[in-house]
Copies of this chain bind each other. A is one copy, B any other.
Amino acid sequence: MADQISAAVRRRRDPASTREAILAAARALMAERGPEAMTISEVAHRAGVNRGTAYQHFRTRDELAAAVMHGFGQRLTAMLTEQSPVGERIDRFLAFFVEHPEFARLWIYDMLASPDGAPSDSWRVFVTTLEGFAQASDTQPGIDPEMLARILVGAPLFWSLWVQKSTVDDDDRRRAVARFAREIKRLLLFGVMKPEQWTSMVSELDGGEGAQ
């Protein structure tokens, strides 16, 4: 690619929004083809910015990537710390990845790359939550929160990749969430919770019987 094709319209000066545009383009690109494949050239092109401008905001390619991952971790932690009943929580968790596919993908790419397995803050938050859950009186004894956490994150992440490719409209996606949530809830309800103490969830599952 030539350094600049043509269209020598100078960008209106606005550092903050320029920075945000660069970050957004980088995030999208990293999610699409992986952090490794993110290129300053393409980021700048997508953001409608000169490549040199990107280097003004982020000293190196790696610094830009790190900035993206930082913002990502913050957002993720925020999502994981929102409190609500188990059932809704699952729905929100799934919906989040369906509505923000790039977050699921970024998380996956990060797990593939990072030495310890997950954006550490977010992960600790999640495991801690599950530890509380496992020790409550309405769940079965002998649950391994760390392993359960792996299941409850890994399965939705993997599933969300499929949702991205196989759904076209919002209705599709809502149905996909319901379908997957139902299986997850069944497993949780009978595998880790004490169903007799969660009658509303039992009836929710019985009610949605016809779903397919």
Contacts and interface: CB of A to CB of B under 8 A. Distances in A.
A144 B192 contact: no
A182 interface: yes
Interface of A: 33-34, 36-37, 105, 108-109, 111-118, 140, 142-144, 147-148, 150-151, 153-159, 161-162, 165-166, 179-180, 182-184, 186-192, 209, 212
Nearest to A148: B183
22 contacts: A33-B113, A34-B112, A36-B36, A105-B112, A108-B108, A111-B158, A111-B161, A111-B162, A116-B166, A117-B166, A118-B162, A144-B179, A147-B179, A148-B183, A150-B155, A150-B162, A150-B180, A151-B183, A154-B158, A187-B187, A187-B191, A190-B191
Copies of this protein chain in the complex? 2
Contacts of A33: 36, 113
Which of A147, A157, A209 has most chain B Cβ within 10 Å? A147
7 nearest CB pairs, A to B:
A154-B158, A187-B191, A190-B190, A147-B183, A151-B155, A150-B159, A117-B162
A33 B161 CA distance: 19
A177 B159 CA distance: 22
Contacts of A180: 147, 150
A100 to B, nearest CB: 16
B191 A186 contact: yes
A145 to B, nearest CB: 10
A28 to B, nearest CB: 14
A162 B186 CA distance: 26
Nearest to A190: B190
